[in-house]
Amino acid sequence: MNDNDSTVSRRSFLKSAGSATVVATAAGSVSGCLGGGGGGGSTLRYGRSSHSDTLDPQNTTSGEVAKVTNQIYDGLIDFQPGEATITESLATDWSMDGEEVTLQLREDAQFDDGTDFTADDFVATYRRFVDDEYEYHFEEASAYGPFTLGNWIDSVSADGDYTLNVTLTQPYAPFLRNLAMFAAVVLPQDGIEGDLDFNSDANGTGPFQLEELDDSNGRILLTPNDNYWGDGPNVDELLFIERGQNSTRTQALVEGELEIIDNLAPTNIESVEEEDGVAIESGQGINIGYMSFNMSRVEAFRDARVRQAISHAIDTESIVNEVYSGIAEQADQPCPPALFGHNDDLSPYAYDPEEAQSLLDETEYSDGFSFELTTFQNARGYNPAPLPTAETIRTNLEEIGIEVTIDERQFSDYLTYTSEGRHDASLAGWYTDNADPDNFYYVLLHPQVDSPDGQDWVDWGTEGFNTSNRSAWANQEYMDLVEEAQRTADEDERASIYAEAAQIAHDEAPWVYIDYADEIRGVRNNVSNYTVSAIGGPHLHLVDVE
């Protein structure tokens, strides 16, 4: 691959910005090769559906950005490849006692410009993200600022170079997993307080460093960070390439122009499976696709029997197997099976129009009613075919006398419409942020305001209402359990609390649970040690390319 002037000047700039120690370390890295390696001229080309709109992990909620920034930056904590469990990264040990969290940090980590990583880097990172009194606070910080750290942290302080003390606003068990999220990766204090433009440049402690950002051609080239503290990378170059259309991305994989691709539609999976030299690799996803009932807007949905009737009337098995070509499994509760908060004793609502009709007959809606079902247009991982899903629902509900009108919207319009509570019902879905059950139970079904006496829903206009709860469901018993689980540190204990919450959410049916989609990748056969991860990563520094 060709070097070029801009690349050289960027590297030169970063190197010259360092101190004498940097020079010494850089020299050391040349002779001793501290971890960063490379694999003898190999390039790993990763094809994806869209290019990064920034390189700043604090300026986005986009998973596409995270795929790249996770190669460049480390969090204090990471996710195990292919697992929903956490493991050490820049922090090697931690303890959580009520509201007090203490983290011991790695002493051998350096940024790619050679400066040492210390606790002050995390303090500056945190302050840039959420502290508007900090001189270098980032005004355009994403919603992950409060969501991940700001809402839960009371204070952060460095105790020497390698110990961090964090005081939380309340006992909050998911906090450690929040630290493993891509938005919480550690940025260099020098860069934050200096003039590093995180939007288009980078300086991290991760396995790779930025070599070239090529917006014109939708490419990002990374090379090994010689200062990396961990294993790998095993390739000399990692190239992210945008191939927007599923068919061209698949074609490029088949023809050997790419080594790994993601976001495959069912038809592309079939074409990959038919070809030699490429294979489909999949992993259990941590997501859910569902249909929400807006109880704040539609009176009929306030009756649990109506919701249960609709859940029985919709053939989710057929949606998963026929419409989604079997790349997902039927859902039965808010939390997917990959997480410890999933209740294994539950099963999906059986498709049973007769049972549905008899439940409906018990209510004042025995003659049916009508509602509008809002959906987004383009496929998303948890719903690879939104319109056919909506049409199946419409056909199914016709059988019990419920008339459905489909309201199809472009995604940003769909988000606006449903977050303002203007939908009757909506197809929706969620990818986990932190692989914690709380990220489903609390974020999606807790109203975050008090439940009014005698009713299990809240008005959409209630001040402070959590609009991610697209059903406006507010079951007090469920809310108490979810809050208790937040405060409980022991994972087994939390699991049993969530099992109860899952049972309530299943029985009360604030959603029609549709599917948990698998994570699917197309991979060439010359790639080894690649693990499909539903959270964190992709851990591309461990990958070999022959």
Partner 1 sequence: MISKRFVAKRLLLLGPVLFGVATVVFGILHLSPGDPAIAIAGDRASQEFIDQVRRDLGLDDPLWQQYLRFLRDTATLEFGQSYQVRRGTDVSAILADRLPITIELAILGQIAGLLFGLPLGILSAVKKDTLTDHFSRIGALTGISIPIYWSGPLLILLFAQILGVLPTSGRIGSSHFIDSRTGFILVDTLLAGDMAAFQSAVRHLFMPVVVLGVYSMAFISRMMRSSMLEVVRQDYMRTARAKGQGAKTTIMKHGLRNAFIPVITIIGIQFGSMLGGTVLTETVFEINGIGTLLVSAINQSDYPVVQATVLVFAFMYTLVNLFVDITYSILDPRIEQ
Q: Which residues bind partner 1 (CB under 8 A)?
A: 1-2, 4-7, 43, 45, 51, 53-54, 56, 59-62, 139-140, 142-144, 146-147, 199-200, 212, 214-219, 221, 239, 241-245, 248, 251-252, 255, 257-258, 409-413, 415-417, 419, 433, 464-468
* Nearest distance, CB of residue 451 and partner 1, angstroms: 18
Residue placing its CB nearer to partner 1 in the complex, 218 or 401? 218
- Exposure string (b/e) for 216-235, b if CB count within 10 Å is 16 or more? eeeebbbbbbbbbbbebbbb
Rounded Cα–Cα distance for residues 437 and 442 (Å)? 8
Bridge-based pairing of strands 77-79 and 260-261 is unpaired
Q: Which residue has the tokens 């087994």?
A: 492
User: 3-class SS at 43?
Assistant: strand
* Nearest distance, CB of residue 7 and partner 1, angstroms: 7
Rounded Cα–Cα distance for residues 224 and 226 (Å)? 6
Residue placing its CB nearer to partner 1 in the complex, 323 or 444? 444
* Nearest distance, CB of residue 389 and partner 1, angstroms: 19
Residue from 147, 182, 164, 174 nearest 101 by CA: 164
Residue placing its CB nearer to partner 1 in the complex, 120 or 212? 212
Q: Which residue has the tokens 């609502």?
A: 349
Residue placing its CB nearer to partner 1 in the complex, 110 or 294? 294
* Nearest distance, CB of residue 475 and partner 1, angstroms: 21
Single-letter residue type at 339: L
Judged by phi (left if over 0) then psi (alpha if -120 to 50, else beta), residue 354 lies in alpha
**What DSSP character marks residue 321?**
I
Q: How many CB atoms lie within 10 A of CB 26?
A: 16
* Nearest distance, CB of residue 454 and partner 1, angstroms: 25
Residues for the chain: how many in total?
Answer: 546
Residue placing its CB nearer to partner 1 in the complex, 61 or 167? 61
Residue placing its CB nearer to partner 1 in the complex, 110 or 223? 223
Residue from 80, 124, 111 nearest 227 by CA: 111
Are the CB atoms for 110 and 227 separated by under 8 Å?
yes
Are the CB atoms for 443 and 428 separated by under 8 Å?
no
Residue placing its CB nearer to partner 1 in the complex, 182 or 349? 182
* Nearest distance, CB of residue 129 and partner 1, angstroms: 13
Residue placing its CB nearer to partner 1 in the complex, 409 or 521? 409
Helices (H), 399-490: 411-419, 438-445, 476-487
* Nearest distance, CB of residue 337 and partner 1, angstroms: 23
| Alpha carbon of residue 259 to chain centroid | 23
* Nearest distance, CB of residue 259 and partner 1, angstroms: 11
